[in-house]
Amino acid sequence: MKNKLRLGCKATVKGFKNENDNTKRLLEMGITPGITLYVLHTAPFGGGYIVKVRDYLVAIRASELLNIEFEK
Amino acid sequence: MNILLVGNPNCGKTTLFNILTGGKQYVGNWPGVTVEKKEGNLQIKNQSFKIYDLPGIYSLEPNTLEQKITKNFLGETKNSIIVNVIDATNLERSLYLTFQLLKEKIPMIIALNMSDELVKKGMVIDLDRLSNVLGVPVISISAFKNSGISDLKSLIIKNKATISSYSVKCANCKGCIYSEKIYDEIDSLINLCVKKTKNSKIDYSEKIDKVLLNKYLSIPFFLLIMYSVFWVTFGDFTSSISDYIGLFLENQFKTYLTFLLNFLNAPSYIHSLFIDGIIPGVLMIFVFLPQITVLFILMSFLEYSGYMTRVAFIMDKLFSYFGLGGSSFIPMLMGFGCSVPAIMSCRILPSEKDRKLTIMLMPFISCNARLPVYALFAGVLFERQKGAVVFSIYLLGIFVALIVALILSKTMFKKDSNGFIMEIPPYRLPTLKNIIIQAWEKVRGFLIKAGTLLLIASVIVWIVKTYTITFAIADSPENSIIAMFGKIISPIFIPLGFGDWRSATALLIGIPAKEMIVSSLSMLSDTTGNQDLFYQYVKNSFSLKSAYSFMAFSLLYMPCLSTIITMFKELNSKRLAVFSLALSFFTAYAVSFIIYNFL
């Protein structure tokens, strides 16, 4: 699946492509299958993203965002 | 009985702890302000409780150091109750930890904090229903507004904390995603207990972020904000207060003191102790108290506002080129205040490598105690551009830290990639009271330091500059004990532009406390604490280049004694700590050499 996440878009989490320590952490922080993510901000130099999930903001790196599998 | 405050990072545990204990623990608006558990006493009527403020955690799984520590602490501490502090505006995520805590079978009370912000968000939580389902008392408080606290106290004293019989229906079996299961339960609980009464007003946090976190403007905005901080700190306002203090010392204080000493018929060495020792050594530093206080107030405003985590986010990619993560930026910004808590806060960093590396960079980050050096030299020699000059010194510190990080991460600390997952809190405004309390704490700390460490050091410096090696009174400081010694080490600094024995000695005396650099320079210049004379001395002894070189050297050469001790403790390796000190000295030498000779 092409993972083209742009600013302002939203997507529903399906799962994770690879399981690792970071995915465990993301799950604990509420990024679970079925939940909707909103991509709100991006850092300069293509660093990371700030996403809104469960009504709060969390900053994650691009690599972590790309590891999330989204529906459709 | 023990009361354990447990909750997510940045949910207001420390604010609550301060209210309950009357303490003045540092509060900030970023995840991980509290890195070490804090103990206090809570007195309700005539019963006394021990209360612990534990570091914020997202879960009890032993993924991070704090989570491991908290989990163990819960298991070890007998006869205790948990007060689970929850950021009510963030109920879904917070309940995750709550569900894990319920399983610990420790009596518990849930305190929904920030109830005032909840109202603004247009949400209502059905406390009774939540309490019924979870099987523990739930109350609504606002630690910030100091409301609901008496209800919490009465729950504690009436022993209302209960062990819940609630359990997540899925056992922690293999092959099922446990976190997912918990969140499923949370979702149904939220549906049951939370009602949105009205559409929330436009989120001001999001509006501010639209501007400050703009992809292209975020770094310019950050630089602009930091520049403004230094511009205000070293602006005309603080300088005029400084001058006023200087004049007061010279015209009023010294006159009355001389009068008093004459009246008491004090011997001449007592006169000298005050006029050549304590006034120029200790009281001279008070001239820079306005700058120290203003910088502190502005920095704590930034810290409290929630902007810090955003800067960490902005800097993440840039820092990754230097072998660091964006989260290292938070300890660095704290280091602008004092290196000791900054080194402690490195515990929030995601890996041991990040933690040790960032600790070793701390000596390069300019702390408040170095500020008198900049205020003096920039004020005397760079006049109009002083704000910009001091700003450049702070940037130089960060720049050197990044270069050193790059070298160390390529050699000693080989890269182990780890994630950057950080909660971004909403913007918050500190109350005036909060700022005043924090600022006063800072000023008080400074007064204590001036009255103890600086006083003792000044008396010692006065002795060694007044007497010769044979303990006769030196006819000029040139013949004193300290001058003899200073003249031995000063040649090392000739290539850096400040080979005079006074500057060399001042740097050496500055190691226990950085304020002593200016103190001892003031004493050794024989200007009796007269601000004008002292400034004139600095103007005559330094060129623009050598002054900048001296400032850079003071910034980088060696952390103060308490920082050194903290480094030894936190690095937990003598070899690494000694290496780090040697590294900062040689880096300082190299940087100052380049500044003086090639710029």
Nearest CA in chain B to A33: B180
**Cα–Cα distance for residue pair B299/B337, rounded to 1 Å:** 8
Residue A1 is predicted with a pLDDT of 37
Mean pLDDT of A5-20: 84
Residue B436 is predicted with a pLDDT of 85
The pLDDT tens digits for B555-581 are 999 999 999 999 999 998 999 999 999
Residue B213 is predicted with a pLDDT of 93
The pLDDT tens digits for B321-359 are 998 888 898 889 889 888 998 998 888 787 788 889 999
**Cα–Cα distance for residue pair B574/B566, rounded to 1 Å:** 12
The nearest CA of chain B is from the CA of A1 a distance in Å of 23
Mean pLDDT of B464-489: 86
B439 band by pLDDT with thresholds 50, 70 and 90? confident
Which of B21-25, B55-59, B286-290 has the least mean pLDDT?
B21-25
A47 vs B318: CB contact, 8 Å cut-off?
yes
Residue B30 sits at the chain A interface (C-beta within 8 Å): no
Residue A4 is predicted with a pLDDT of 58
- Residue position matching structure tokens 């293509």: A46
- What's the whole-number average pLDDT of chain B? 88
Residue contacts between A and B (CB atoms, under 8 Å): 115
pLDDT for residue B199 is more than 70: no
Q: Which chain A residues are closer than 8 Å to B96 by Cβ? A: 28-30
Q: Please report the ipTM that was assigned to this predicted complex.
A: 0.92
The nearest CA of chain B is from the CA of A41 a distance in Å of 7
Alpha helices in B160-306 (DSSP H): 178-193, 204-212, 218-233, 236-247, 254-263, 268-272, 279-281, 289-305
pLDDT for residue B247 is more than 50: yes
B417 band by pLDDT with thresholds 50, 70 and 90? low
Highest mean pLDDT among B24-28, B45-49, B171-175: B45-49
What is the token pair recorded at B180?
């997912």
Residue B162: DSSP 8-state: B
B90 vs A56: CB contact, 8 Å cut-off?
yes
The nearest CA of chain B is from the CA of A61 a distance in Å of 6
**Cα–Cα distance for residue pair B288/B384, rounded to 1 Å:** 18
* CB nearest to B313's CB, from A24, A50, A64: A50
Nearest CA in chain B to A52: B424
Phi and psi based region of residue B217 (left: phi greater than 0; alpha: psi -120 to 50; beta: remaining):
alpha
Residue A5 is predicted with a pLDDT of 66
Sign of the C-alpha dihedral, residues B88, B91, B97, B102?
A: positive
Q: Which chain B residues are closer than 8 Å to A43 by Cβ? A: 215, 218, 313-314, 316-317
Note which residues in 414-453 of chain B have CB less than 8 A from chain A: 418-426
The pLDDT tens digits for A21-69 are 788 889 988 999 999 999 999 988 877 899 999 989 999 988 888 899 8
- CB–CB of B66/B48 below 8 Å? no
The closest of B277, B279, B381, B395 to B332, measured between CA atoms, is: B395
Residues of A with CB under 8 A from a CB of B: 7, 21-22, 24-30, 32-33, 35, 40-48, 50, 54-61, 64
**Cα–Cα distance for residue pair B583/B195, rounded to 1 Å:** 58
Mean pLDDT of B494-511: 93
Order of strands, sheet of A36-42, starting from the edge strand that comes earlier in the sequence: A68-70, A10-16, A36-42, A48-53, A56-61, B422-424
Nearest CA in chain A to B211: A41
Residue A2 is predicted with a pLDDT of 42
The pLDDT tens digits for B523-539 are 998 888 888 999 999 99
* CB nearest to B215's CB, from A21, A24, A42: A42
Nearest CA in chain A to B67: A25
The nearest CA of chain B is from the CA of A2 a distance in Å of 22
Note which residues in 191-230 of chain B have CB less than 8 A from chain A: 206, 209, 213, 215-216, 218-219
- Model pTM? 0.86
Residue B383 is predicted with a pLDDT of 81
The nearest CA of chain A is from the CA of B311 a distance in Å of 10
Residue B353 is predicted with a pLDDT of 85
pLDDT for residue B149 is more than 50: yes
Partner residues linked to B44 by β-bridges: B47
B93 vs A22: CB contact, 8 Å cut-off?
no
Mean pLDDT of B507-519: 91
Residue B545 is predicted with a pLDDT of 94
B391 band by pLDDT with thresholds 50, 70 and 90? very high
Mean pLDDT of B235-260: 90
Residue B175 is predicted with a pLDDT of 45
Give Cα separations from A8 to A38, A67, B148, B424 (angstroms). Answer: 7, 19, 38, 17
pLDDT for residue B376 is more than 50: yes
B419 vs A22: CB contact, 8 Å cut-off?
yes
B59 vs A28: CB contact, 8 Å cut-off?
yes
Q: Report the share of chain B in percent with pLDDT over 90.
A: 48
- Count the alpha carbons within 13 Å of B422 in the hemisphere toward its beta carbon: 33
